[in-house]
Amino acid sequence: MTAKPPTRDQIARAADVLGLSLEPADLDEFTEMVRGTVETYYRPLDRLPDNLPPVKYPRTPGHFPSDEEDPLRAWYVKSTIEGSKRGRLRGKTVAIKDNICVAGLPMMNGASVLEGYVPEVDATVVTRTLDAGGTILGKAHCEYFCYSGSSHTNAQKTTLNPLNPEYTPGGSSSGCAALLAAGEVDLAIGSDQGGSIREPASFCGLVGMKPTWGLVPYTGAGSIEMTLDHLGPMSRTVEDNALYLEVLAGEDGLDPRQYAPRTARYTRALGQSAEGLRIGVMTEGFGFEDSEADVDEAVRAAAETFARLGASVTEISVPAHRELGMSVWVPIACEGAYEQILKGLGNGHNWKGAYVPSLLEKLNGWQAKSNMFSEIFKLGMLCAEHMRTVHHGRYYAKAQNLSRLLRAAYDAALEEVDILLTPTSPIKGSKLPPENRTRQEDMVPGFTPIPNTAPIDCTGHPSISIPCAMRDGLPVGLMLTGRHFDESTLYRAAHAFEQAVDWKSV
């Protein structure tokens, strides 16, 4: 592509957008001045590289698997990419969520708008996985722009839960969760802006860690909203999860979300007892309108298990969790996603770091396919456009300001205890909606599971989901939330519980 100087009509349209009234002579003069700017300053950029991180490991373009090869409809594209011959992940197989760039492999991010796009760069987490000796087996399906807690909004396929194919495996890291639960891979990388790592982990009986905001670089991943974006490990065991976070964590110098993140050897927390830990059972995490009684009961029973393991377990109230949580998250997730995904073409502006210009180019012209958006994404974008037009961003700004109060409320509670304990989701799982579903039926599975997970994305605290029980053939997820950059304490508690409890028989 070459930088194109404008025509007079194009500058006239630009003036209309800006509300400028230009006389014909002014219009002529500005047209020539903009042409000169493009020729002098933009055109030289065409001769220079995009300056993206190098791709270090060979791979093939892979293939799109058939339904026979992929009965859970969890893979987008399969391609074996061998990493280093040595490293901590040697012998481990990995699925990459399809909102994360893997050079040479198609990336759809669940969206018809992006079908056919092939990035030319590896995300930082992909390079770190391969440097550590992991073997990537391909890209896992995710929801339309990762904007749902279910698994039926992908533009191509509905991903099935291997524990019960009538249920969603959760979203938006739906394919990652299904592949892990089915044993097809050892590890996966998910993203979490409202619960998209932890909720699928809960629905599939897995371990899912949403690390502290900025601990794992987001470079090269499709964003929803920069202040909500998290990448993190998914696995079947706490040990594998802690090991993978050691590989993924740390500054890369390319992600503005990172402010001197503090890393640790998380595997050193394994094998330590829960004795002496202070665990607060957060009252406001239970008893939602949609809560299932057996979920609340199973999680409270898990809290009693921690007490038997020597932890100090007390009830603690954080009213802001219920009073502010979703009211802070929704404006940020709607208006922020509108600015980042659509108006910012997936990259946005005004930040230093590694941009992916080819992604901007592919997303340009999304209006031509907007009728193909998922219903839940349409709802979010319509709400955002209305609120931005009528209120000019006031409520987005207010929600960001109030998120500091929400963070302070959790921080105050975490001065009294080491960990906050809640259900990951108020429910065990959501049934997939019928083919002839109403719009309301289409949206409910995406919203219902997230009232405990979404607020923690606004505040950036680390939060892990582990399975704690089985009810009616479906897992129940237990969520542990800790202080910023204190993932080690979460792994200590999670591993102690995992070693003491056979959750499938509880």
User: Is 463 considered catalytic here?
Assistant: no
Q: Exactly one of 97, 157, 210, 362 is catalytic; which is it?
A: 97
Tell me which H or E stretch contains 491: helix 487-500
Q: Exactly one of 112, 150, 151, 172 is catalytic; which is it?
A: 172
- State residue 447's pLDDT score: 87
Rounded to whole angstroms, the Cα distance separating 287 from 264 reads 35
Q: Which of 130, 140, 113 is nearest to 53 (CA)?
A: 130
Rounded to whole angstroms, the Cα distance separating 441 from 460 reads 31
Beta bridge partners of 63: 78
* Amino acid letter, 69: E
Tell me which H or E stretch contains 138: strand 135-140
In tens digits, the chain (506 residues) has pLDDT values of 789 999 999 999 999 999 999 999 999 999 999 999 999 999 999 999 999 999 999 999 999 999 999 999 999 999 999 999 999 999 999 999 999 999 999 999 999 999 999 999 999 999 999 999 999 999 999 999 999 999 999 999 999 999 999 999 999 999 999 999 999 999 999 999 999 999 999 999 999 999 999 999 999 999 999 999 999 999 999 999 999 999 999 999 999 999 999 999 999 999 999 999 999 999 999 999 999 999 999 999 999 999 999 999 999 999 999 999 999 999 999 999 999 999 999 988 999 999 999 999 999 999 999 999 999 999 999 999 999 999 999 999 999 999 999 999 999 999 999 999 999 999 999 999 998 999 999 988 888 999 999 999 999 999 999 999 999 999 999 999 999 999 999 999 999 999 999 999 99
Rounded to whole angstroms, the Cα distance separating 174 from 168 reads 8
Q: Are 192 and 332 in contact (CB under 8 A)?
A: no
Cβ-Cβ contacts under 8 Å for 16 (sequence gap 6 or more): none
CA torsion sign, 26 to 27 to 33 to 34?
positive
Q: Are 158 and 446 in contact (CB under 8 A)?
A: no
User: Is 196 considered catalytic here?
Assistant: yes
- State residue 21's pLDDT score: 94
Rounded to whole angstroms, the Cα distance separating 10 from 34 reads 11
Q: Exactly one of 112, 173, 191, 196 is catalytic; which is it?
A: 196
Tell me which H or E stretch contains 93: strand 93-97
- Count of C-beta atoms within a 10 Å radius of residue 265: 10
- State residue 287's pLDDT score: 98
Rounded to whole angstroms, the Cα distance separating 51 from 464 reads 35
Rounded to whole angstroms, the Cα distance separating 33 from 230 reads 43
The torsion of the CA quartet 100, 396, 350, 404, rounded to 10 degrees, works out to -90
Rounded to whole angstroms, the Cα distance separating 317 from 281 reads 8
**What CA–CA distances, in Å, run from 23 to 19, 34, 264, 299, 321?**
13, 16, 63, 70, 56
